[in-house]
């Protein structure tokens, strides 16, 4: 039967459904919201972005930039929705979250091959080709079913956190200045600390941290989304060498770099909502507000959405999955997104695209495919299938996922250079990956 079932209309599931439908198969897409919400989602919209509104850096020296380019070549709807709802964010691809979700929802609803069923699936269907894309907050019943029947009872989880979002009108723009790091586009709002202010902020943060449940501190955090209180626990200077670093952000009033800087990133098209960059937190809400208000310029800040912290669930991909995103022991089942061991909106959507293509191919009795090794998506899915299983952690896009340049791939001008610098090497890796991905797309056309 030319039918595919997709569980979850998040980043991975929406893109999986749209990719499968584009190959002419019928898709049943199950989504439990709004009847049953997750702790992080707030709407019934498809592909809701639960934390930041960024799809990561762009450009030909950026690993995410290559994955974005590949998804554009594949006509992935998620990239079209991102491009249509883009917000200014310097060198990053940030989107207006409601418009983005509305665009993806509209694409799903308009597709005659897709039937959206608003229902929680508590059990993986026993027959048919199924893409499990229920994400890091998979409902308990389904998680139990996946883990007991398809994952050898082995659950892995870590904690992930979202940053608070502030109302623009409550920010003191007499103190806060617009700038981009090292003279990039002035898309960010910057709150400058002097030393005294930083020490006061740190003291309040430390006090707030001691109010939060201590069992969090024993838990494993994903480095890319470490809560600010956990960063602070590592030392008084750790925040100002991390998310509060002032480098390349001189205050125009003094011409000097402040002692520390908290950056705010635009969240909505109207510029009414701004989130604090790298300030994910699970602090109690009362404490959270007080900590935010010790940041210079945010003394009167109104918090539109508090930061939150959630458990994430993912499978041990190297034990369970093929690079095609099929379960090794259950080839009619595929998975994508965070559950499959990726981390990030873009990675979730990209693996969703591949799972959707492969699910449709299985339904059409065709062999599943894997993108070329030099492409970013090819590197990512190969990593999932072959990483060290023992300490497996969800993976973000990065340059280490693709092979180094071979001697003959070096540009003529660098032929005699033994080791290329990042800036010399990355555009070449980018062009190589993009070209091979484009050529591969031609070979899988039906």
Ligand X SMILES: Cc1cc2nc3c(=O)[nH]c(=O)nc-3n(C[C@H](O)[C@H](O)[C@H](O)COP(=O)(O)OP(=O)(O)OC[C@H]3O[C@@H](n4cnc5c(N)ncnc54)[C@H](O)[C@@H]3O)c2cc1C
For position 142 contacting ligand X by CB under 6 A, the verdict is yes
Q: Are strands 3-7 and 26-31 parallel, antiparallel or unpaired?
A: parallel
Stretch of 2-10, 105-113, 247-255, 316-324 contacting ligand X, by CB under 6 A? 2-10
- Give the start-end residues of each E strand in 136-259: 156-161, 165-167, 177-179, 188-193
For position 11 contacting ligand X by CB under 6 A, the verdict is yes
Interface residue with ligand X, options 62, 105, 313, 348 (CB under 6 A)? 348
Q: What is the DSSP track for 230-267?
A: HHHHT-TTHHHHTTT--TT---TTTSS--SEEEEEEE-
Instruction: Between 151 and 338, name the residue whose CB sits nearer to ligand X.
Output: 338
For position 144 contacting ligand X by CB under 6 A, the verdict is no
Residue 273, token pair as written in the block: 């909502």
- Burial bucket for residue 435 (CB in 10 Å: 0-12, 13-18, 19+): middle
- Give the start-end residues of each E strand in 302-394: 303-305, 309-314, 326-327, 330-335
For position 30 contacting ligand X by CB under 6 A, the verdict is yes
Instruction: Between 52 and 77, name the residue whose CB sits nearer to ligand X.
Output: 52
Instruction: Between 222 and 414, name the residue whose CB sits nearer to ligand X.
Output: 222
CA distance 109 to 52: 25
For position 139 contacting ligand X by CB under 6 A, the verdict is yes
For position 62 contacting ligand X by CB under 6 A, the verdict is no
Interface residue with ligand X, options 18, 23, 31, 440 (CB under 6 A)? 31
Q: How far is the CB of 138 from ligand X (least distance, A)?
A: 5
Name which of residues 209 to 268 contact ligand X (CB under 6 A): 225
Stretch of 132-140, 229-237, 253-261, 366-374 contacting ligand X, by CB under 6 A? 132-140
Q: How far is the CB of 133 from ligand X (least distance, A)?
A: 5
H or E element in which residue 73 lies: helix 63-73
Sign of CA dihedral 372, 376, 379, 383: negative
Residue 47, token pair as written in the block: 């592909």
Instruction: Between 346 and 405, name the residue whose CB sits nearer to ligand X.
Output: 346
Could you list the residues that contact ligand X (CB under 6 A)?
Answer: 7-13, 30-33, 38, 40-41, 50-52, 120-121, 133-139, 142, 160, 162, 225, 310, 312, 337-339, 343-345, 348
């Amino acid at each position: 039967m030319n039918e595919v079932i997709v569980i979850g209309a998040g980043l991975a599931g929406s893109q999986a459904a749209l990719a499968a439908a584009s190959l002419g198969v019928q898709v049943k897409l199950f989504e439990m919201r709004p009847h049953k919400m997750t702790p992080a989602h707030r709407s019934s919209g498809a592909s809701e972005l639960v934390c930041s509104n960024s799809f990561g850096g762009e450009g030909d020296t950026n690993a995410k930039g290559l994955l974005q380019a590949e998804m554009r070549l594949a006509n992935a709807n998620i990239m079209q929705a991102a491009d249509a709802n883009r917000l200014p964010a310097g060198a990053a691809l940030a989107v207006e979250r409601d418009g983005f979700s509305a665009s993806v929802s509209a694409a799903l609803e308009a597709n005659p091959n897709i039937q959206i069923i608003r229902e929680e699936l508590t059990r993986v269907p026993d027959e048919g080709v199924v893409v499990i894309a229920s994400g890091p907050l998979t409902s308990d019943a389904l998680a139990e079913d996946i883990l007991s029947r398809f994952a050898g009872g082995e659950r892995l989880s870590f904690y992930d956190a979202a940053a608070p979002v502030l109302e623009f009108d409550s920010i003191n723009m007499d103190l806060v200045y617009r700038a981009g790091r090292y003279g990039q586009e002035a898309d960010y709002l910057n709150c400058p600390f002097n030393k005294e202010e930083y020490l006061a902020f740190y003291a309040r943060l430390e006090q707030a941290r001691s109010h939060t449940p201590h069992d969090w501190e024993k838990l494993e955090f994903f480095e890319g989304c470490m809560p600010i209180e956990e960063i602070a626990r590592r030392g008084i200077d750790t925040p100002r060498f991390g998310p509060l670093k002032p480098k390349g952000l001189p205050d125009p009033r003094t011409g000097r770099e402040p002692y520390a800087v908290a950056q705010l990133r635009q969240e909505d098209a109207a510029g009414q909502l701004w989130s604090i960059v790298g300030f994910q937190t699970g602090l109690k809400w009362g404490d959270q507000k007080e900590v935010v208000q010790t940041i210079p310029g945010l003394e009167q800040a109104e918090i539109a959405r508090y930061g939150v912290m959630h458990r994430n669930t993912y499978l041990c991909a190297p034990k369970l999955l093929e690079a095609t995103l099929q379960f090794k022991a259950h080839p009619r089942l595929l998975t994508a997104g965070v559950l499959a061991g990726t981390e990030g909106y873009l990675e979730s959507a990209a693996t969703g695209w591949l799972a959707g293509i492969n699910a449709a191919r299985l339904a059409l009795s065709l062999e599943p495919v894997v993108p070329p090794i030099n492409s970013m998506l090819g590197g990512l899915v190969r990593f999932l299938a072959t990483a060290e299983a023992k300490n497996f952690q969800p993976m973000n896009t990065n340059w280490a996922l693709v092979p180094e340049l071979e001697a003959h791939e070096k540009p003529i001008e660098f032929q005699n250079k033994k080791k290329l610098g990042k800036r010399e090497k990355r555009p070449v890796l980018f062009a190589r990956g993009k070209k091979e991905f484009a050529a591969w797309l031609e070979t899988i056309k039906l």
